[in-house]
Structure 1
Amino acid sequence: MEGALASVGLRETIMKDMQGAVRLSVAFVGLSGGLLQAAARLGPAPATAIAQAASGDLGYVVRWCDAAYAFGLLDEEAGGFVLTDLGRAFLPDAPGTLMPFAVQEVLTAHVAERAAGLMKTGERPGESILAERATILPWFGPMLEAQFGPIFEKTIMPALSVYKQAAERGGFVIDLGCGNGWYLMRLARAYPHLRCLGIDGFEENIRQGQSRAAAAGLADRVRFAKGDIYGFESPEPADIIALNRALHHVWDEKETVFRILHDHLKPGGAAVIWEPHWPADRAALREPGRRMVAFQNLTEHVQGNHFLRPSEIAEAFQVAGLTPEVYDFLEGREAVVVGTRP
């Protein structure tokens, strides 16, 4: 009897988990299709109006509205649909937006399916898997920005003197693997004398970065170009070279990577590496704040990567002739390692 009761309890727990995942899937469909955004602009409106405003197929939109209503993202009002507080919280510009959770859930499902198929072959397709779903890639940069932009601006940037020192010299910053440019945009706003170059391998990210810099009036100081760490062109030696949650993508070639960092820095310049802090003790992975990083490490393996310990990064800096300093943030879940060229 006790076993049967435990089984019922487990099923109820998993059912709640499943419904939460489906709610995030419904939110992602609404975001990707512009349906949540259209509903926010229109106020109470029928599905036909939402479909027209979002340039969506009416049949799909009608059924999405039913699903969004079922999961509490939409409510009925004045003969139409209106966003609930929960639905509004998924809008990309909502304070503390829930958008990253919806994007990450769909990306997680995609990579989980790929990992399941590759488990026996050992194949590791690389970063190309991020572009396998056309609806996901445009949201990848905004997802990272919403997750990590506030941490950088409020916690990391004030704690590291390297940014202020570079700004006082009218310095030049390179962000390798820049995504949609969120890191450089925040630096440029905080330090008006900095000049910035973002390098990324995805055209979508370059397009988003250029568009956002122009809209913010920063295009004269924040530029973007397609490339990678092995072949980027720099107009001058850099005061700062940043890799934000990107070093693990090129760790297999770390000797080459750290030589490139060293050679592209001015004397006194610094490489600033931000990575998830992979714990030395496996038991730490069961902490609620670290659980996701354990699964993400599986997804990184699909891409040919794995997460790192800060001590590994510091050692690589030393081998390359750079002086390392390790900073821990968010109760040790995130690490920034600064390597300064003498």
Structure 2
Amino acid sequence: MTDNATPTFREQAMGQAQGAMALQVAFIGVTNGLFAALAEKGPATPAELARAAGMDPGYVARWVDAAYAFGYLSETGAEEGDRVALTDAGRGFAGEASSGPLPFAVHSLLGAHMSERTAHFMRTGERPGEAVLGERETIAGLFGTMLEGMFGPVFEDQILPDLPVFREMDASGGTAVDLGCGNGWYLRRLARAYPHLRGIGLDLFDDAIHEATAKAAAEGTGDRLEFRKGDMHDYTVAEPAALIAMNRALHHVWDDKDRVFAFLRDNLADGGTAVIWEPNWPGKRAALADPRRRGMAFQNLMEHVQGNHFLSADAIAAEFERVGMTPEIHLYAEGNEAVVV
């Protein structure tokens, strides 16, 4: 490395660090309702904002400075600095719109947490499992929102219109079961698109079930969707399912794949379909240098802490064939997302 090149790399690192800081400031405002309070209340002093959000005024005053610095707030009012209002960038964090930047703010903090855990456990070889995801309370509460925001648009724009199985289910009025449904975003989008489709979502976390139930009711799909506690090991659905979905969950139970694929085969109705959505891990490391796959490489490192690793579409298809099912591979998002049907 030459002296002339050093400033370039330093400046690049500084720019990346500022991007991370910007998302971290946004996360603080999201998780404590500061953006939402300003969107509802309008321009406010830091003290007024603190009262509206129910937060400590000292912390809010310092957050206002930081949010202003990163372009989320502007000054307004008779006196400069008297009140602040949301800029266009700030308004992007005021709601839960799937097309907005909110999920990336959550992912920024989750990534920082998991990076620290990875650095620690790399020294010992420990892989403590998924409990590490819940070690930060403020992140855990927004986990479903993050997943919905990051993957909901891909589902609606690419997967949903492409797979005929969903239209066939709507015509027959069959039941779709989502294993590990989280906040129910997958079934809720299915139900909005197909008015005759019924769904049951199973998840082990009570908070996720309550959130999914409330969101379905607010969206007008609660009469056709039910969310309850359970998973593959505690399956509480009496009737055979026309469709069983696992969304970015199979790699969490891959060590038990023999049981998983036998379960999928044995719990489907005649003519039923399993729909497995996973990141499509490439066959060669060189593919990971593509900027569109860098996030996958980072996430796979984080998955190692949880005892998991990403899978190739071909590996998933081979397991379906092993239990006597016929797989079809569908690729989306420039080949980075695989749905094996």
What band does the TM-score fall into relative to the shorter chain? over 0.9
Does residue 194 of the first structure (1) align with residue 193 of the second (2)?
A: no
Matched residue type, 2:30: L
CA distance in 1: counterparts of 2:274 and 2:60, whole angstroms: 48
RMSD value, Cα: 1.2
Query: Who is 2:272 aligned against?
Result: 269
Query: Who is 2:70 aligned against?
Result: 71
Query: Who is 1:11 aligned against?
Result: 10
Matched residue type, 1:206: I
**Retained in 2: the 8 A contact 1:137–1:204?**
no
Between stretches 86-95 and 252-261, larger displacement belongs to 86-95
Between stretches 228-237 and 299-308, larger displacement belongs to 228-237
Query: Who is 1:54 aligned against?
Result: 53
Matched residue type, 2:235: F
Structure 1 gap ranges (5+):
none
How is 1:59-208 mapped onto 2 (pairs within 5 angstroms)? 59-78=58-77, 79-94=82-97, 96-208=99-211
Q: Secondary structure at the match of 2:227?
A: strand
Q: Secondary structure at the match of 1:5?
A: coil
Q: Secondary structure at the match of 1:269?
A: strand
CA positional deviation for 1:129: 1.4
- For 1:287-318, what per-residue CA distance to the aligned partner results, in whole angstroms no more than 9, with x for missing partners? 11100100100111111110000000000001
CA distance in 2: counterparts of 1:62 and 1:302, whole angstroms: 37
Between stretches 7-16 and 83-92, larger displacement belongs to 83-92
**Retained in 2: the 8 A contact 1:125–1:304?**
yes
Q: Secondary structure at the match of 1:323?
A: coil
Structure 2 gap ranges (5+):
none
- Which of these residues, 317, 323, 326, is aligned with residue 323 of structure 1? 326
- For 1:119-147, what per-residue CA distance to the aligned partner results, in whole angstroms no more than 9, with x for missing partners? 02211111111111110112111111111
State the TM-score, normalized to the length of structure 1: 0.96
CA distance in 1: counterparts of 2:208 and 2:161, whole angstroms: 26
CA distance in 1: counterparts of 2:98 and 2:213, whole angstroms: 24
Q: Secondary structure at the match of 1:199?
A: strand
Q: Secondary structure at the match of 2:191?
A: helix
Query: Who is 1:29 aligned against?
Result: 28
**Retained in 2: the 8 A contact 1:184–1:198?**
yes
- For 1:48-76, what per-residue CA distance to the aligned partner results, in whole angstroms no more than 9, with x for missing partners? 11111111111111111111111111111
Q: Secondary structure at the match of 1:3?
A: coil
CA distance in 2: counterparts of 1:140 and 1:312, whole angstroms: 28
CA distance in 1: counterparts of 2:133 and 2:223, whole angstroms: 30
Q: Secondary structure at the match of 2:142?
A: helix
Matched residue type, 2:21: V
- For 1:61-103, what per-residue CA distance to the aligned partner results, in whole angstroms no more than 9, with x for missing partners? 1111111111111111113011111111223345721001100
**Retained in 2: the 8 A contact 1:277–1:333?**
yes
CA positional deviation for 1:153: 1.2
**Retained in 2: the 8 A contact 1:173–1:196?**
yes
Q: Secondary structure at the match of 2:5?
A: helix
- Which of these residues, 241, 245, 250, is aligned with residue 247 of structure 1? 250
Matched residue type, 1:77: T
**Retained in 2: the 8 A contact 1:91–1:97?**
no
CA positional deviation for 1:229: 1.6
CA distance in 2: counterparts of 1:290 and 1:95, whole angstroms: 21
Does residue 228 of the first structure (1) align with residue 231 of the second (2)?
A: yes
CA positional deviation for 1:322: 1.0
How is 1:287-326 mapped onto 2 (pairs within 5 angstroms)? 287-326=290-329
Does residue 284 of the first structure (1) align with residue 287 of the second (2)?
A: yes
- For 1:134-163, what per-residue CA distance to the aligned partner results, in whole angstroms no more than 9, with x for missing partners? 101121111111111121112101111111
Matched residue type, 1:58: P
Residues 94 and 318 (structure 1 numbering): CA distance in 2 closer, same or farther, change over 3 Å?
closer
State the TM-score, normalized to the length of structure 2: 0.96
**Retained in 2: the 8 A contact 1:176–1:200?**
yes
Residues 194 and 94 (structure 1 numbering): CA distance in 2 closer, same or farther, change over 3 Å?
closer
Q: Secondary structure at the match of 1:324?
A: coil
- For 1:147-185, what per-residue CA distance to the aligned partner results, in whole angstroms no more than 9, with x for missing partners? 111211121011111111112111000001111001000
CA distance in 2: counterparts of 1:22 and 1:61, whole angstroms: 17
Between stretches 87-96 and 210-219, larger displacement belongs to 87-96
Aligned residues: 337
Matched residue type, 1:245: R
Matched residue type, 1:259: A
CA positional deviation for 1:201: 1.8
